[in-house]
Structure 1
């Protein structure tokens, strides 16, 4: 009788068939990351080639690189509020912020952001003070 009760309890605690098998490190394991095409800050060049399609709950990394041709920033507070930022890495320094509104590059360099997409919707990040479509990057979280 005791074995039947243990088997029934184990069945109730089992994961549903649709649950993900992320392994010991879960979602944050490096093997679960999707690397996105980089954003490029350069005077007179497009910020991104196409719209980024993200899945809510997906773990992503993206590099933002400045060529140093001008002092440029990237801003997108609505997008940054729609994601959970794990870390921002600049020159091998890992920063774990509570939030980000923008990143500004005074010189050439690269920042790498790892994040989990959370809130579904369409979002834009852009170079502040610009109006051109090529100076924007669109993110869609489904």
Structure 2
């Protein structure tokens, strides 16, 4: 048998035995401890006292640009620009690693080395081309 309809001015007292009535809460069943969830976040990020994630992007970008500069030195203008960017990003990445904001100082150093190598190879190719065809 369905429960009685709700009156236009709101529900009245629900009779005994209908869902939500007095017998619905008579035997609530086993009680389990409630999980309150994690503590409130500090500054909106993670757990209180948790360190922010390392920002390793500059070191990684330095290595990627350095490899492109060293491998693509035949396109010497592009290699020089990529090499300069690799050295700059590598220096920024090493600075972040020194301050503890990043965890990849070796990757940033490798980017500096590859970028400098790309610059030297590009200028060497340019000097060879000038000397050979002049």
How high is the TM-score relative to the length of structure 1?
0.21
More helix, by proportion: 2
Larger radius of gyration: 2
